């Protein structure tokens, strides 16, 4: 599983992953529709903000926030945990280990290949948002768009690595899906998916700044809706990539220990 083999196989893996995404486009559409909670929360928060804005968030800003949340969630989602659990239980992980490509690279390619299709499904929402709001909520500074691109990549990596690490815990227990459910519950609360992080009390917001969930979704949404100036956005993106590095180290440790256990039991 050398770096050269992984890089050489990546285009093929992306083509296979895109073919799978197209073949299972109906399932992909169901996944997309299942992530419409931000649109439901939008209706609720608009009612709350009907009398007066909450901080900087009036009704136009809330519309922009939750539409951006919907789009970012579509482009950074991952389902690797469920796939690893399934492959550990039915033994097909052993077949994946025989390939000259690291499983994390293969899983990442499958996720990456599905992004264009998920983007295509999300694009109508973004067009409606621009038609309703104009471009006022969007940043005018090109540097902020560069930072937004880095924040999107970081958000996707944190989600992928967290899925991979929790999925690998199924090598130590019967199933780690329930742990993923707990992770997702914390994500719903602290990521800004249901409640904008800036509306939290300062003490809760300070705790959330040390957790990975805001950097999975809230940060790209905040940059996309002009919540931060250039210096603040740069600091937050730096913190986000520090969390990416920590996730990478932890994931590598769990994978190495779990793989040894898998081999010891004849996987």
Render pLDDT for 116-173 as a digit per residue (tens, 0 to 9): 877 777 777 777 766 766 656 788 899 999 999 999 999 999 999 999 999 999 888 8
**Helices marked H in the chain — which ranges?**
3-23, 25-33, 37-48, 59-76, 80-90, 93-97, 103-133, 142-168, 177-190, 202-209, 213, 219-224, 230-264
Residues of the chain with pLDDT under 50: none
pLDDT, residue 68, reads 87
pLDDT, residue 236, reads 95
pLDDT, residue 31, reads 66
pTM: 0.85
- Residue 184 pairs with which residues in a beta bridge? none
pLDDT, residue 33, reads 65
Question: Do 84 and 167 contact (CB within 8 A), yes or no?
Answer: yes
pLDDT, residue 117, reads 76
pLDDT, residue 13, reads 75
> Which residue is listed with tokens 């007066």?
52
pLDDT, residue 160, reads 93
Q: 157-189 as b/e, with b when 16 or more CB fall inside 10 Å?
A: bbbbbbbbbbbbbbbeeeebeebbeebeeebee
């Amino acid at each position: 599983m050398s770096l050269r083999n992984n890089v050489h196989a990546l285009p093929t893996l992306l083509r296979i992953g895109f073919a799978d995404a197209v073949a299972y486009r109906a399932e992909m559409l169901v996944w997309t529709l299942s992530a419409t909670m931000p649109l439901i929360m939008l209706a609720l928060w608009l009612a709350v903000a009907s009398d007066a804005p909450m901080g900087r968030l009036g009704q136009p800003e809330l519309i922009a926030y939750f539409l951006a949340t919907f789009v970012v969630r579509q482009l950074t989602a991952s389902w690797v945990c469920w796939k690893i659990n399934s492959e550990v239980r039915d033994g097909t992980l052993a077949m994946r280990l025989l390939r000259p490509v690291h499983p994390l690279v293969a899983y990442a390619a499958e996720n990456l290949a599905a992004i264009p299709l998920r983007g295509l499904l999300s694009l109508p929402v973004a067009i409606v948002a621009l038609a309703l709001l104009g471009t006022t909520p969007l940043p005018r500074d090109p540097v902020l768009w560069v930072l937004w691109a880095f924040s999107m990549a970081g958000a996707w990596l944190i989600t992928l690595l967290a899925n991979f690490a929790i999925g690998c815990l199924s090598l130590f227990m019967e199933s780690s899906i329930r742990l993923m459910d707990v992770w997702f519950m914390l994500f719903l609360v602290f990521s800004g998916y249901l409640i904008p992080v800036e509306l939290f009390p300062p003490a809760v917001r300070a705790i959330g700044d040390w957790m990975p969930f805001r950097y999975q979704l809230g940060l790209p949404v905040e940059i996309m809706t002009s919540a931060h100036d250039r210096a603040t956005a740069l600091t937050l993106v730096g913190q986000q990539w520090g969390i990416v590095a920590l996730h990478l180290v932890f994931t590598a440790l769990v994978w190495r220990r779990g793989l040894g256990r898998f081999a010891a039991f004849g996987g």
